[in-house]
Amino acid sequence: MRKSLKKFFKSIFEPIISAWSGIVGHKLRSFLTILGVVIGVTSVIALMSVGKGTTSQILSSIESLGANVITISPSFSTQGGIRSGFGSAQTLTLEDAEAIYNEVANVTAVAPVSSKFYQLVYGSENIQAQTTGTTPSYQYVHNLSIASGDFLTSYDYEHSTRVAILGATVAETLFGEEDPIGKSIRVGAYKFEVIGVLAEKGMSISGTDNAVIVPLSTLQQIGGITRIRSGEEVISSIALTVADEDYSSQAKEDITYLLEERHEIALGGTDDFSITSMEDIISQVSQISGYMTILLGAIAGISLLVGGIGVMNIMLVSVIERTREIGIRKALGAKERDIWSQFLIEAVFLTFTGGIIGIILGWSVSFAISQTLITTLVTADIVGLAVGVAVAIGLFFGFYPAWQASRLNPIEALRHE
Protein backbone atom coordinates (compact mmCIF):
# COMPACT_ATOMS: atom_id res chain seq x y z
CA MET A 1 0.00 0.00 0.00
CA ARG A 2 2.78 2.41 1.01
CA LYS A 3 4.84 1.45 -2.03
CA SER A 4 1.91 2.00 -4.43
CA LEU A 5 1.16 5.40 -2.84
CA LYS A 6 4.80 6.39 -3.15
CA LYS A 7 4.77 5.34 -6.79
CA PHE A 8 1.61 7.38 -7.38
CA PHE A 9 3.10 10.59 -5.96
CA LYS A 10 6.33 9.97 -7.84
CA SER A 11 4.41 9.69 -11.12
CA ILE A 12 2.79 13.08 -10.44
CA PHE A 13 5.66 15.13 -9.04
CA GLU A 14 8.62 13.72 -10.97
CA PRO A 15 7.52 15.29 -14.33
CA ILE A 16 6.86 18.59 -12.54
CA ILE A 17 10.30 18.59 -10.91
CA SER A 18 11.96 17.63 -14.20
CA ALA A 19 10.08 20.37 -16.04
CA TRP A 20 11.10 22.95 -13.44
CA SER A 21 14.74 21.84 -13.63
CA GLY A 22 14.61 22.23 -17.43
CA ILE A 23 13.28 25.77 -17.11
CA VAL A 24 15.74 26.89 -14.41
CA GLY A 25 18.65 25.24 -16.19
CA HIS A 26 18.07 27.30 -19.35
CA LYS A 27 17.16 30.75 -18.04
CA LEU A 28 17.81 32.76 -21.22
CA ARG A 29 15.86 30.34 -23.39
CA SER A 30 13.01 30.32 -20.87
CA PHE A 31 12.95 34.12 -20.81
CA LEU A 32 12.77 34.35 -24.59
CA THR A 33 10.01 31.73 -24.59
CA ILE A 34 7.75 33.65 -22.22
CA LEU A 35 8.49 37.09 -23.70
CA GLY A 36 5.91 36.72 -26.48
CA VAL A 37 3.30 35.52 -23.98
CA VAL A 38 4.05 38.46 -21.66
CA ILE A 39 3.56 40.94 -24.50
CA GLY A 40 0.37 39.18 -25.61
CA VAL A 41 -1.24 39.10 -22.16
CA THR A 42 -0.22 42.70 -21.49
CA SER A 43 -1.81 43.78 -24.77
CA VAL A 44 -5.04 41.88 -24.11
CA ILE A 45 -5.47 43.35 -20.62
CA ALA A 46 -4.51 46.91 -21.65
CA LEU A 47 -6.71 47.09 -24.77
CA MET A 48 -9.73 45.33 -23.25
CA SER A 49 -9.50 47.52 -20.15
CA VAL A 50 -9.67 50.57 -22.43
CA GLY A 51 -12.80 49.15 -24.06
CA LYS A 52 -14.40 48.32 -20.72
CA GLY A 53 -13.47 51.68 -19.20
CA THR A 54 -14.85 53.63 -22.14
CA THR A 55 -18.10 51.64 -21.98
CA SER A 56 -18.40 52.22 -18.25
CA GLN A 57 -17.81 55.97 -18.66
CA ILE A 58 -20.41 56.29 -21.42
CA LEU A 59 -23.02 54.26 -19.51
CA SER A 60 -22.35 56.25 -16.34
CA SER A 61 -22.90 59.47 -18.26
CA ILE A 62 -26.17 58.16 -19.71
CA GLU A 63 -27.43 56.86 -16.39
CA SER A 64 -26.66 60.21 -14.74
CA LEU A 65 -29.45 61.66 -16.88
CA GLY A 66 -31.91 59.25 -15.29
CA ALA A 67 -33.05 55.78 -16.34
CA ASN A 68 -36.66 56.98 -16.51
CA VAL A 69 -36.12 59.68 -19.16
CA ILE A 70 -37.92 59.42 -22.51
CA THR A 71 -37.12 61.63 -25.52
CA ILE A 72 -39.45 62.27 -28.44
CA SER A 73 -37.93 63.58 -31.68
CA PRO A 74 -39.37 64.40 -35.11
CA SER A 75 -38.90 61.65 -37.65
CA PHE A 76 -39.85 61.90 -41.32
CA SER A 77 -42.25 64.14 -43.14
CA THR A 78 -43.46 64.09 -46.72
CA GLN A 79 -44.14 67.23 -48.73
CA GLY A 80 -44.98 67.18 -52.43
CA GLY A 81 -44.15 63.48 -52.55
CA ILE A 82 -40.61 64.14 -51.26
CA ARG A 83 -39.61 62.50 -47.99
CA SER A 84 -37.38 64.55 -45.68
CA GLY A 85 -34.35 63.16 -43.85
CA PHE A 86 -34.70 61.63 -40.38
CA GLY A 87 -35.07 64.30 -37.69
CA SER A 88 -35.51 67.12 -40.19
CA ALA A 89 -39.30 67.22 -40.02
CA GLN A 90 -41.21 69.87 -38.05
CA THR A 91 -43.88 67.64 -36.58
CA LEU A 92 -43.74 68.15 -32.81
CA THR A 93 -45.51 71.06 -31.15
CA LEU A 94 -45.77 72.72 -27.79
CA GLU A 95 -49.37 71.50 -27.65
CA ASP A 96 -48.13 67.90 -28.09
CA ALA A 97 -46.01 68.30 -24.97
CA GLU A 98 -48.93 69.70 -22.99
CA ALA A 99 -51.20 66.85 -24.15
CA ILE A 100 -48.63 64.23 -23.07
CA TYR A 101 -48.33 65.77 -19.61
CA ASN A 102 -52.09 66.00 -19.16
CA GLU A 103 -53.19 62.70 -20.72
CA VAL A 104 -50.44 60.06 -20.30
CA ALA A 105 -50.37 58.26 -16.96
CA ASN A 106 -47.21 58.15 -14.80
CA VAL A 107 -45.57 61.09 -16.60
CA THR A 108 -44.07 63.28 -13.86
CA ALA A 109 -42.49 66.11 -15.89
CA VAL A 110 -42.37 67.28 -19.50
CA ALA A 111 -39.85 69.67 -21.02
CA PRO A 112 -40.51 70.90 -24.57
CA VAL A 113 -37.28 71.93 -26.30
CA SER A 114 -36.47 74.18 -29.23
CA SER A 115 -32.84 74.60 -30.29
CA LYS A 116 -30.93 76.98 -32.50
CA PHE A 117 -27.25 77.87 -32.94
CA TYR A 118 -26.22 81.43 -32.13
CA GLN A 119 -22.97 83.30 -31.77
CA LEU A 120 -22.53 84.23 -28.10
CA VAL A 121 -20.47 87.32 -27.36
CA TYR A 122 -19.11 88.86 -24.16
CA GLY A 123 -16.56 91.63 -24.50
CA SER A 124 -13.85 90.39 -26.86
CA GLU A 125 -14.74 86.73 -26.36
CA ASN A 126 -17.20 84.76 -28.46
CA ILE A 127 -18.32 81.17 -29.03
CA GLN A 128 -20.74 79.41 -31.36
CA ALA A 129 -23.09 77.41 -29.15
CA GLN A 130 -26.44 75.69 -29.19
CA THR A 131 -29.12 77.84 -27.62
CA THR A 132 -31.75 75.66 -26.00
CA GLY A 133 -35.16 77.14 -25.35
CA THR A 134 -37.11 75.20 -22.76
CA THR A 135 -39.17 75.36 -19.56
CA PRO A 136 -38.21 75.11 -15.86
CA SER A 137 -38.98 71.35 -15.98
CA TYR A 138 -35.86 70.82 -18.12
CA GLN A 139 -33.64 70.92 -15.02
CA TYR A 140 -35.60 68.13 -13.34
CA VAL A 141 -35.94 65.98 -16.47
CA HIS A 142 -32.20 66.05 -17.26
CA ASN A 143 -31.01 66.03 -13.65
CA LEU A 144 -29.01 69.26 -14.00
CA SER A 145 -27.11 70.84 -11.14
CA ILE A 146 -26.47 74.57 -10.81
CA ALA A 147 -22.87 75.56 -10.04
CA SER A 148 -23.86 79.18 -9.32
CA GLY A 149 -26.93 81.37 -9.66
CA ASP A 150 -30.40 80.03 -10.48
CA PHE A 151 -32.27 78.10 -13.15
CA LEU A 152 -35.29 79.28 -15.14
CA THR A 153 -38.47 80.03 -13.23
CA SER A 154 -42.13 79.95 -14.24
CA TYR A 155 -42.03 83.77 -14.29
CA ASP A 156 -39.18 83.72 -16.85
CA TYR A 157 -41.13 81.38 -19.11
CA GLU A 158 -44.50 83.12 -18.77
CA HIS A 159 -43.06 86.62 -19.30
CA SER A 160 -40.46 85.71 -21.95
CA THR A 161 -37.63 87.30 -19.99
CA ARG A 162 -34.22 87.53 -21.63
CA VAL A 163 -32.23 85.51 -19.14
CA ALA A 164 -29.71 82.77 -19.82
CA ILE A 165 -28.09 79.82 -18.01
CA LEU A 166 -24.64 78.97 -19.35
CA GLY A 167 -23.07 75.54 -19.69
CA ALA A 168 -19.72 75.08 -17.93
CA THR A 169 -17.63 75.22 -21.13
CA VAL A 170 -19.48 78.26 -22.47
CA ALA A 171 -19.05 80.12 -19.16
CA GLU A 172 -15.33 79.34 -19.04
CA THR A 173 -14.80 80.42 -22.66
CA LEU A 174 -16.64 83.72 -22.33
CA PHE A 175 -15.75 84.72 -18.78
CA GLY A 176 -12.67 82.75 -17.74
CA GLU A 177 -12.21 83.34 -13.99
CA GLU A 178 -14.74 86.21 -13.93
CA ASP A 179 -18.11 85.62 -12.23
CA PRO A 180 -20.73 85.65 -15.03
CA ILE A 181 -23.79 86.04 -12.79
CA GLY A 182 -25.55 89.34 -13.52
CA LYS A 183 -23.45 90.07 -16.60
CA SER A 184 -24.99 90.61 -20.04
CA ILE A 185 -24.08 88.58 -23.11
CA ARG A 186 -25.21 88.90 -26.68
CA VAL A 187 -27.07 85.93 -28.14
CA GLY A 188 -27.16 86.64 -31.85
CA ALA A 189 -28.41 90.22 -31.99
CA TYR A 190 -30.10 90.18 -28.57
CA LYS A 191 -28.86 90.91 -25.06
CA PHE A 192 -29.45 88.36 -22.28
CA GLU A 193 -28.66 88.53 -18.59
CA VAL A 194 -26.77 85.54 -17.18
CA ILE A 195 -28.61 84.24 -14.10
CA GLY A 196 -26.94 80.85 -13.68
CA VAL A 197 -24.09 78.50 -14.61
CA LEU A 198 -24.59 74.74 -14.85
CA ALA A 199 -22.30 72.30 -13.10
CA GLU A 200 -19.98 70.48 -15.49
CA LYS A 201 -21.53 67.30 -16.89
CA GLY A 202 -18.56 66.05 -18.88
CA MET A 203 -19.29 63.61 -21.70
CA SER A 204 -23.07 63.61 -21.81
CA ILE A 205 -25.91 63.02 -24.25
CA SER A 206 -27.59 66.25 -23.25
CA GLY A 207 -24.44 68.22 -24.17
CA THR A 208 -25.25 70.99 -21.69
CA ASP A 209 -21.61 71.97 -21.15
CA ASN A 210 -21.52 73.53 -24.63
CA ALA A 211 -24.99 75.07 -24.56
CA VAL A 212 -26.88 78.08 -23.24
CA ILE A 213 -30.41 77.65 -21.90
CA VAL A 214 -33.08 80.34 -22.26
CA PRO A 215 -36.87 80.39 -21.81
CA LEU A 216 -38.62 78.65 -24.70
CA SER A 217 -41.04 81.55 -25.08
CA THR A 218 -38.12 83.97 -25.45
CA LEU A 219 -36.35 81.86 -28.07
CA GLN A 220 -39.57 81.62 -30.05
CA GLN A 221 -39.87 85.41 -29.99
CA ILE A 222 -36.33 86.20 -31.14
CA GLY A 223 -36.08 83.27 -33.52
CA GLY A 224 -39.51 83.55 -35.06
CA ILE A 225 -42.38 81.15 -34.41
CA THR A 226 -43.15 78.38 -36.85
CA ARG A 227 -46.76 77.28 -36.72
CA ILE A 228 -48.49 74.20 -38.11
CA ARG A 229 -51.87 72.59 -37.68
CA SER A 230 -54.12 75.52 -36.78
CA GLY A 231 -51.36 77.68 -35.35
CA GLU A 232 -49.64 75.18 -33.02
CA GLU A 233 -46.06 76.13 -32.19
CA VAL A 234 -43.31 73.85 -33.51
CA ILE A 235 -40.58 72.58 -31.15
CA SER A 236 -37.45 70.52 -31.75
CA SER A 237 -38.08 67.71 -29.27
CA ILE A 238 -39.83 66.71 -26.06
CA ALA A 239 -38.07 65.29 -23.01
CA LEU A 240 -40.05 63.74 -20.18
CA THR A 241 -39.73 61.55 -17.13
CA VAL A 242 -41.97 58.80 -15.83
CA ALA A 243 -42.54 57.93 -12.18
CA ASP A 244 -40.39 54.80 -12.48
CA GLU A 245 -38.38 53.15 -15.25
CA ASP A 246 -40.77 50.17 -15.03
CA TYR A 247 -43.43 52.44 -16.57
CA SER A 248 -41.25 53.36 -19.58
CA SER A 249 -42.60 50.71 -21.97
CA GLN A 250 -46.24 51.46 -21.20
CA ALA A 251 -45.62 55.22 -21.40
CA LYS A 252 -44.03 54.82 -24.85
CA GLU A 253 -47.09 52.93 -26.07
CA ASP A 254 -49.49 55.52 -24.64
CA ILE A 255 -47.50 58.42 -26.11
CA THR A 256 -47.36 56.72 -29.51
CA TYR A 257 -51.13 56.25 -29.53
CA LEU A 258 -51.73 59.86 -28.41
CA LEU A 259 -49.39 61.43 -30.98
CA GLU A 260 -50.68 59.27 -33.80
CA GLU A 261 -54.15 60.50 -32.97
CA ARG A 262 -53.08 64.14 -32.71
CA HIS A 263 -51.02 63.99 -35.92
CA GLU A 264 -53.83 62.18 -37.75
CA ILE A 265 -51.66 59.21 -38.72
CA ALA A 266 -53.71 56.38 -40.17
CA LEU A 267 -53.58 52.89 -38.63
CA GLY A 268 -50.49 51.17 -40.00
CA GLY A 269 -49.07 54.43 -41.33
CA THR A 270 -45.51 55.69 -40.77
CA ASP A 271 -45.10 57.78 -37.62
CA ASP A 272 -43.61 61.26 -38.08
CA PHE A 273 -41.91 61.03 -34.68
CA SER A 274 -39.62 58.65 -32.84
CA ILE A 275 -39.58 57.77 -29.14
CA THR A 276 -36.41 56.72 -27.33
CA SER A 277 -36.01 55.77 -23.68
CA MET A 278 -32.77 55.64 -21.72
CA GLU A 279 -33.17 51.87 -21.53
CA ASP A 280 -33.03 51.73 -25.33
CA ILE A 281 -29.92 53.90 -25.44
CA ILE A 282 -28.15 51.94 -22.69
CA SER A 283 -28.92 48.66 -24.44
CA GLN A 284 -27.60 49.92 -27.79
CA VAL A 285 -24.47 51.46 -26.27
CA SER A 286 -23.74 48.28 -24.28
CA GLN A 287 -24.07 46.15 -27.41
CA ILE A 288 -21.86 48.38 -29.56
CA SER A 289 -19.27 48.78 -26.79
CA GLY A 290 -19.26 45.02 -26.25
CA TYR A 291 -18.40 44.49 -29.91
CA MET A 292 -15.68 47.13 -29.65
CA THR A 293 -14.15 45.43 -26.59
CA ILE A 294 -14.19 42.04 -28.30
CA LEU A 295 -12.53 43.57 -31.37
CA LEU A 296 -9.80 45.14 -29.25
CA GLY A 297 -9.31 41.81 -27.45
CA ALA A 298 -9.08 39.94 -30.77
CA ILE A 299 -6.46 42.38 -32.07
CA ALA A 300 -4.41 41.93 -28.90
CA GLY A 301 -4.99 38.17 -29.08
CA ILE A 302 -2.96 38.05 -32.30
CA SER A 303 0.15 38.87 -30.28
CA LEU A 304 -0.73 35.98 -27.94
CA LEU A 305 -0.95 33.68 -30.96
CA VAL A 306 2.47 34.85 -32.13
CA GLY A 307 3.76 34.23 -28.61
CA GLY A 308 2.34 30.70 -28.74
CA ILE A 309 4.16 30.01 -32.01
CA GLY A 310 7.32 31.25 -30.30
CA VAL A 311 6.72 28.79 -27.45
CA MET A 312 6.43 25.87 -29.88
CA ASN A 313 9.53 26.98 -31.76
CA ILE A 314 11.65 27.23 -28.61
CA MET A 315 10.28 23.93 -27.28
CA LEU A 316 11.22 22.17 -30.53
CA VAL A 317 14.73 23.58 -30.23
CA SER A 318 14.77 22.39 -26.61
CA VAL A 319 13.85 18.85 -27.68
CA ILE A 320 16.74 18.80 -30.16
CA GLU A 321 19.20 20.16 -27.57
CA ARG A 322 18.10 17.63 -24.96
CA THR A 323 17.86 14.59 -27.22
CA ARG A 324 20.70 12.79 -25.40
CA GLU A 325 19.12 13.60 -22.01
CA ILE A 326 15.83 12.11 -23.24
CA GLY A 327 17.70 9.00 -24.43
CA ILE A 328 19.34 8.55 -21.02
CA ARG A 329 15.99 8.91 -19.22
CA LYS A 330 14.37 6.35 -21.50
CA ALA A 331 17.29 3.97 -21.04
CA LEU A 332 16.80 4.27 -17.28
CA GLY A 333 13.14 3.26 -17.59
CA ALA A 334 11.23 6.48 -18.26
CA LYS A 335 8.07 5.86 -20.25
CA GLU A 336 6.77 7.89 -23.18
CA ARG A 337 4.10 9.52 -21.03
CA ASP A 338 6.78 10.64 -18.53
CA ILE A 339 8.72 12.42 -21.27
CA TRP A 340 5.53 13.77 -22.84
CA SER A 341 4.17 15.13 -19.54
CA GLN A 342 7.56 16.67 -18.62
CA PHE A 343 7.73 18.79 -21.79
CA LEU A 344 4.03 19.64 -21.75
CA ILE A 345 4.22 20.77 -18.11
CA GLU A 346 7.30 22.80 -19.00
CA ALA A 347 5.36 24.61 -21.75
CA VAL A 348 2.44 25.29 -19.39
CA PHE A 349 4.82 26.54 -16.67
CA LEU A 350 6.37 28.97 -19.12
CA THR A 351 3.10 30.33 -20.47
CA PHE A 352 1.52 30.54 -17.01
CA THR A 353 4.53 32.48 -15.71
CA GLY A 354 4.33 34.72 -18.76
CA GLY A 355 0.63 35.21 -18.03
CA ILE A 356 1.28 36.30 -14.43
CA ILE A 357 3.97 38.76 -15.50
CA GLY A 358 1.65 39.96 -18.28
CA ILE A 359 -1.13 40.60 -15.74
CA ILE A 360 1.15 42.80 -13.66
CA LEU A 361 2.41 44.72 -16.69
CA GLY A 362 -1.08 44.93 -18.23
CA TRP A 363 -2.54 46.36 -15.03
CA SER A 364 0.35 48.83 -14.81
CA VAL A 365 -0.17 49.98 -18.41
CA SER A 366 -3.94 50.30 -17.83
CA PHE A 367 -3.33 52.35 -14.69
CA ALA A 368 -0.91 54.63 -16.55
CA ILE A 369 -3.43 55.14 -19.37
CA SER A 370 -6.21 55.99 -16.90
CA GLN A 371 -3.99 58.59 -15.24
CA THR A 372 -3.04 60.35 -18.46
CA LEU A 373 -5.59 59.65 -21.21
CA ILE A 374 -8.94 57.89 -20.71
CA THR A 375 -10.68 55.80 -18.10
CA THR A 376 -9.73 52.11 -18.05
CA LEU A 377 -11.29 49.22 -16.16
CA VAL A 378 -9.50 45.96 -15.39
CA THR A 379 -12.03 43.28 -14.41
CA ALA A 380 -11.68 39.69 -13.26
CA ASP A 381 -13.06 38.32 -16.53
CA ILE A 382 -10.38 40.15 -18.54
CA VAL A 383 -7.60 38.79 -16.30
CA GLY A 384 -9.11 35.28 -16.33
CA LEU A 385 -9.47 35.35 -20.11
CA ALA A 386 -5.88 36.49 -20.66
CA VAL A 387 -4.33 33.89 -18.34
CA GLY A 388 -6.68 31.14 -19.54
CA VAL A 389 -5.77 31.78 -23.16
CA ALA A 390 -2.07 31.89 -22.24
CA VAL A 391 -2.24 28.48 -20.54
CA ALA A 392 -4.34 27.08 -23.40
CA ILE A 393 -1.67 28.28 -25.83
CA GLY A 394 0.95 26.50 -23.73
CA LEU A 395 -1.04 23.27 -23.95
CA PHE A 396 -1.80 23.65 -27.65
CA PHE A 397 1.63 24.70 -28.89
CA GLY A 398 3.49 22.56 -26.36
CA PHE A 399 1.69 19.38 -27.35
CA TYR A 400 3.61 18.67 -30.58
CA PRO A 401 7.13 19.24 -29.15
CA ALA A 402 6.19 17.08 -26.13
CA TRP A 403 4.82 14.34 -28.36
CA GLN A 404 7.93 14.49 -30.57
CA ALA A 405 10.18 14.18 -27.52
CA SER A 406 8.23 11.20 -26.18
CA ARG A 407 8.51 9.37 -29.55
CA LEU A 408 12.33 9.53 -29.75
CA ASN A 409 14.08 6.19 -30.11
CA PRO A 410 16.31 5.80 -26.99
CA ILE A 411 19.18 4.18 -28.96
CA GLU A 412 19.23 6.94 -31.58
CA ALA A 413 18.84 9.56 -28.86
CA LEU A 414 21.90 8.22 -26.99
CA ARG A 415 23.95 8.46 -30.20
CA HIS A 416 22.95 12.13 -30.65
CA GLU A 417 25.82 14.59 -30.17
What pLDDT digit, counting tens, does each position of 14-26 carry? 555 555 565 555 6
Which residues in the chain come in under a pLDDT of 70? 1-29, 61-67, 76-89, 202-207, 224-232, 320-323, 325-327, 329-334, 336, 338, 340, 373, 400, 405-417
Residue 65 is predicted with a pLDDT of 61
Residue 54 is predicted with a pLDDT of 77
Q: Name the burial class of residue 264, with classes exposed (0-12), middle (13-18) and buried (19+) by CB atoms within 10 angstroms of its CB.
A: exposed
Residue 76 is predicted with a pLDDT of 58
Helix 94-103 vs helix 248-262: crossing angle, to nearest 10 = 130
Amino acid at 240: L
Report the alpha-carbon distance of residue 233 to residue 73 in Å, rounded: 15
Residue 407 is predicted with a pLDDT of 67
pTM: 0.61
Give the CB-side neighbour count of residue 73, counting CA atoms within 13 A: 10
Residue 42 is predicted with a pLDDT of 83
Residue 231 is predicted with a pLDDT of 56
Report the alpha-carbon distance of residue 101 to residue 186 in Å, rounded: 33
Residue 416 is predicted with a pLDDT of 52
Q: Are 307 and 39 in contact (CB under 8 A)?
A: yes
Residue 81 is predicted with a pLDDT of 43
Residue 194 is predicted with a pLDDT of 94
